[in-house]
């Protein structure tokens, strides 16, 4: 457990699923962690799994599905280079210029950190956000997943720093 935090629960797994509101439309869902901010409670993320719908295989057209999980609201699907993005995944079919359905490519952030890391991230505010967006698909796409971690109580100075950092980098 990181310095300044004291674990206050056992391992918690939170499942989620988000559908695009319409094909090729950025859609985001807020998921409430029900943290007790008066007691300086935070959520320490140990692992995350993302499962995204495959893009449509259309001859001659590049299609994609992207998804991310962040601890602040976003206006686009994020990547790991963005502040407060905990996980990201994508699947693409490159078919532009081809007469068939093309070639598929996938990427995803690690489901769990390397063994030398203690955690993936710390959520200091009361919720996290799940984003999904398809590109050039005929049907809507979905992301589902699990967030795994524990509740912890932070020292006052650590809680203030985590909360301020999270809110200012939104």
pLDDT tens track for 36-93: 989 999 999 999 999 999 999 888 889 999 999 999 999 999 998 998 899 999 999 8
Spell out the domain ranges in the chain: 5-168
From 22-31, 55-64, 139-148, the region with the lowest mean pLDDT: 55-64
The predicted pLDDT at position 150 comes to 95
Work out the percent of the chain whose per-residue pLDDT is above 70: 89
Cα–Cα distance between 103 and 31 in angstroms, integer? 34
The predicted pLDDT at position 76 comes to 96
In this structure, are residues 69 and 129 in contact, taking their beta carbons and an 8 Å threshold?
yes
Cα–Cα distance between 58 and 134 in angstroms, integer? 13
pLDDT, the chain, mean? 89
Q: Is the pLDDT of residue 131 over 90?
A: yes
- 151's CB contacts (< 8 A; 6+ apart) are 7, 8, 9, 12, 35, 41, 42, 43, 44
Compute φ and ψ for 155, nearest 5 degrees. Answer: -60, 155
| Of 67, 59, 58, the residue nearest 106 (C-alpha) | 67
Average pLDDT over residues 127-141: 96
Q: Is the pLDDT of residue 114 over 80?
A: no
Q: What is the number of other CB atoms lying within 10 angstroms of the CB of residue 164?
A: 11
- 84's CB contacts (< 8 A; 6+ apart) are 70, 71, 72, 78, 166, 169, 170
Cα–Cα distance between 54 and 102 in angstroms, integer? 13
The predicted pLDDT at position 32 comes to 94
The predicted pLDDT at position 63 comes to 93
Q: Is the pLDDT of residue 169 over 60?
A: yes
Average pLDDT over residues 147-159: 94
The predicted pLDDT at position 116 comes to 67
| This prediction's pTM | 0.88
Cα–Cα distance between 27 and 35 in angstroms, integer? 24
Under CATH, to which class is 5-168 assigned? mainly beta
Cα–Cα distance between 44 and 42 in angstroms, integer? 7
């Amino acid at each position: 457990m990181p310095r300044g935090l004291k674990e206050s629960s056992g391992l918690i797994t939170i499942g989620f699923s988000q559908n695009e509101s319409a094909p090729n439309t950025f859609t985001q869902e807020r998921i409430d962690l029900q943290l007790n901010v008066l007691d300086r409670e935070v959520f320490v993320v140990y692992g995350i799994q993302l499962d995204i719908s495959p893009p449509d295989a259309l001859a001659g057209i590049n299609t994609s599905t992207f998804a991310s999980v962040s601890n602040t609201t976003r206006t686009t699907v994020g990547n790991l280079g963005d502040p407060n993005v905990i996980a990201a995944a994508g699947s693409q079919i490159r078919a532009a210029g081809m007469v068939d359905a093309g070639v598929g490519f996938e990427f995803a952030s690690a489901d769990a950190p390397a063994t030398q890391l203690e955690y993936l991230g710390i959520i200091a505010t009361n919720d996290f956000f799940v984003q999904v967006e398809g590109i050039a698909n005929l049907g809507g796409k979905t992301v589902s997943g699990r967030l795994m971690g524990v509740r912890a109580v932070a020292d006052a100075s650590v809680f203030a720093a985590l909360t301020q950092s999270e809110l200012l980098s939104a």
